Structures are given as C-alpha cells and as structure tokens.
Amino acid sequence: MKHAAVALLGGAILGFATWHALAQDEQPGNELLNHDEPAADQTKKSDEDSPYENMHVLARAMQLIRQDYVDDHKISFRDLTYSALRGMLSELDPHSSFMDPRDFKGMQEDTKSEFGGLGVTVTTKDGLLTLIGVAEGTPGFEAGLQPGDQIRKINGASTDRMTMADAVDMLRGEAGEKVTLTISRPVTNELKEFTIARAVIKVPSVVDAMILPTDHTGGHKLGYLRLTQFNEPTAGELAAALDSLEKQGMEALILDLRFNPGGLLSSAVDVCSQFLPPNTRVVSTEGRSPAREYFTRSTKTGLRTYPVAILINGSSASGSEIVAGALKDLHRAILVGETTFGKGSVQSVVSLPDGSAMRFTTAKYYTPSRRPIHEHGVAPDIRCAMTLEEEARLYQARRRKEMPGVAQDRARVQDPQLDRAIDALTGVLLYTGRTGGPAKG
C-alpha cells in the first residue's frame, strides 16, 4: 500500500521544517529459518511478534479503559489512539513523533517561511529540550533567547517528561498570545524566565550580505553573508545576494552557517548548486529502503568559481551540515570554526487518513566521501574555537545589528572565526594571483 511521505532535515523544529516528497511500497520480506534454534522457539517468537496477536492486546486494553476508566471524557477512541501513537513513536528516538491534524498543518506551513510562533528551533540534547536556533527579528530573538538555552518549563509545566510533540504544541499558538518559558542557560548557569508574545513571522534566509571593509581584509574585496535557515526562498535569495556582491567586485566569499539549524533538503542541495557543476552528488541517504542520492542542478547564473570559506559551529545543523560537508569533500570551500551539531538523520512524514501524520527516522545522511553526519558532525579544515561567552557576545551583537569590522566599538564584536576565514581567503587570493591558477576555495 502506497503512502504519501515526506523526508525531514533537522530535529523537531518550531518554525523550520525540512521535507520533500517520497513514496514507498510496503512489501513483505522473505523470512529465513534459523537452524540454530528449535522450530518451536521459532514459532513462539513469530507469535510474539505477530501483528494480529499484539493488535488484540492493544484492542483489549482500549476496551477495558473505555469500560472502567474513571474520567469518561478522556476515553474516546480518537484520544486513546492518538495517545498510543504518541507513546509508540516517542519511544523510537528523540526525532520521531506523532502529529495530530493541527500539528501536521503547522509543520507544512513552516516550510513557507511564514508562520506563527516564537521563531525558535528545538531539539532534544542530553535529554533536555534545547534551542539550536533562534531566528533573527522574531519574538524569541528580540526577547533574548539564545542557542544552547535549555527549556525547563513552558507556562509553568516541567519539560522533564514532556514529549517533543507536546512541547511543540505548547510553544505554538495564535499570534499575540503569550507563552512563558523558564530557561536554563549553561553559559552563565542562570535560570531565567521569559514571557514572549507569539507573532506571525517572516524570516529572511539571507542576511548581512555585504563587502567587508577593505581595511579589515588587506585591500581585497571579500563578500560576506549569513544563511539563517534553508527554506523554499533560500536559493533564490542567495543567488540575488551573490549577484549583487559580484557587481560590487567581490573576489571571494565568506558564507556564515553558524547557528543555522537547517531546513529543506532541496534548499540545501540548491545552495550547493550555486558553487558546484550540475549533476554533482552532494549527499546520499542509507536506511532500510534503497539508498538515495541527491545531485546539483544547473542555475541561471552559471557556476560561481571564486574562493569560498564557510563558518560553522556546534549550532550548525542538518542542512548546514549537508552544505558544509559537500563543499568540503569536493574541495570547493574551506571550513573554519568548530565541528557541527551532528544531526544527519532523515525523518519521513507519512500522512494518515484523518489528516494526522507520523514522523519517524528512516535513514541517515552521508557526505560525498561517505562520511556519516549523524552524531559525528562535519569537522572544520581550520579549527578555531570560541568560548560560550564569546558566542553569546557575538549573538548579542547580531541583536544590535552590528558586524565585526563595521561597528564603531570594535571591541564589542570581536569574531576570531571570521578573522581566520579572512586570513585564509586572503592567502588563497595572494597565491592564485601569483601563480595565475584558478581561484577556487
């Protein structure tokens, strides 16, 4: 039986979902007899894992609950079925979950880059509900939330035993409504409370596109831009920004993917298409289904061949890791910073007949050289660590709309990773200028 399915990049996400269409056939596999075990044991194991026997157990449990449970308003077949699905999927891994019709509709709306909420991206890390992205210009960003913050309570309810689906449901809401978060911040060991009004959010993918001041780049015209996420408009916005920088004489590019939590797989592939020849394999997936490969496409502007450096850190996840891993493996960019988050698993979303859906892990991503991303991350070519305090100051500078080398108070916005990227590209430009070789990162 065929199902409409969707593959997701990124963790459980509020405001950024990553998906593309898949279709799968369920086909019964051939069972192999284990000759080391008696046939009776084989039959017993088969009975224990029989869908019919276990559905009978579930049906009997639901029957008893409906017959005798004290609160009859909690025992509709729909409520019991949804509760069973939530529990079943949450037991698989932190990224698998059940979505009721409202949640599924919200996930679909997220990919349009316009949604109601706080503008934060959450995942489960070390058993705690953790922010890995806070979109700029959103209520969460303006209130002072930061990547790495751990959500301990939502409207007074502890998140210790809260499922990801339940947390997402509590964080979502109508624009104008307020939600109170109790946040633990590891960088300062603070426990802080934020009351934030939700809003309808439009998030630009490309920000801070500019030519860096030449007194900071040794006289070279180095372009800089940040990608905040990967959604439907991202590739088009990136192409327009690159066109503008090229018209200003850009010699090389610094692409900042720090704090980028990911997004659409198709968008990440299209971003790679700006810098790689058509039909170049940039990522592949492997799971129980046949492996899939994803290739770049031709672009209207043609191939951009100037040197590229990519900034990454521990909050660069999912789509960011695909772009960084591909351009590193294919010797198209220099990676500067710290090893990325390590979220490289595929969640397929399968719609159910009543408008609800299941999201569950079906594969893992691999870079072109077959390096796994999940739980490994992508390592930089030039390692340049920043302390949590330095990252927090950089994030605060972004809130003030300041850029290293641009703000008058230079001391407040020091960015050693950006400085190392500038040094690396300056070296590449000097070398290629002397040898006359191709200027590629």
Is the pLDDT at 380 greater than 80? The verdict is yes
Is the pLDDT at 411 greater than 50? The verdict is no
What's the confidence (pLDDT) of residue 45? 53
Is the pLDDT at 437 greater than 60? The verdict is no
Is the pLDDT at 44 greater than 60? The verdict is no
For the chain, give the percent of residues with pLDDT over 90: 49
pLDDT tens profile 347-372: 888 999 999 999 999 989 999 999 99
What's the confidence (pLDDT) of residue 37? 44
Active site residues: 318, 329, 343
What's the confidence (pLDDT) of residue 427? 93
Q: Binning pLDDT at 50, 70 and 90, where does residue 182 land?
A: very high
pLDDT tens profile 59-114: 999 999 999 999 888 889 999 999 999 999 989 988 888 988 887 877 776 555 55
What's the confidence (pLDDT) of residue 65? 93
Q: Binning pLDDT at 50, 70 and 90, where does residue 232 land?
A: confident
Highest mean pLDDT among 23-27, 204-208, 334-338: 334-338
What's the confidence (pLDDT) of residue 417? 95
Q: Binning pLDDT at 50, 70 and 90, where does residue 148 land?
A: confident
Range of lowest pLDDT (81-85, 96-100, 170-174, 414-418): 170-174
Q: Binning pLDDT at 50, 70 and 90, where does residue 4 land?
A: very low
pLDDT tens profile 241-279: 999 999 999 999 999 999 998 888 899 999 999 999 999
CB under 8 A, 24+ apart: contacts of 31-34: none
Is the pLDDT at 324 greater than 50? The verdict is yes
Structural domains in the chain, sorted by start: 116-202 (2.30.42.10), 206-345+362-435 (3.90.226.10)
What's the confidence (pLDDT) of residue 19? 28
Q: Binning pLDDT at 50, 70 and 90, where does residue 134 land?
A: confident
Q: Binning pLDDT at 50, 70 and 90, where does residue 410 land?
A: very low
Q: Binning pLDDT at 50, 70 and 90, where does residue 27 land?
A: very low
Is the pLDDT at 29 greater than 50? The verdict is no
Q: Binning pLDDT at 50, 70 and 90, where does residue 170 land?
A: confident
Q: Binning pLDDT at 50, 70 and 90, where does residue 434 land?
A: low
What's the confidence (pLDDT) of residue 241? 96
32 in the Ramachandran plot: left (φ > 0), alpha (ψ -120 to 50) or beta?
Answer: beta
Q: Binning pLDDT at 50, 70 and 90, where does residue 46 land?
A: low
Highest mean pLDDT among 44-58, 222-236, 255-269, 327-341: 327-341
Is the pLDDT at 438 greater than 70? The verdict is no
Mean per-residue pLDDT, 123-145: 85
Is the pLDDT at 35 greater than 60? The verdict is no
Range of lowest pLDDT (53-57, 192-196, 302-306, 393-397): 393-397
What's the confidence (pLDDT) of residue 88? 93
What's the confidence (pLDDT) of residue 335? 98
What's the confidence (pLDDT) of residue 53? 86
Angle at 285 between CA 102 and CA 292, to 5 degrees: 95
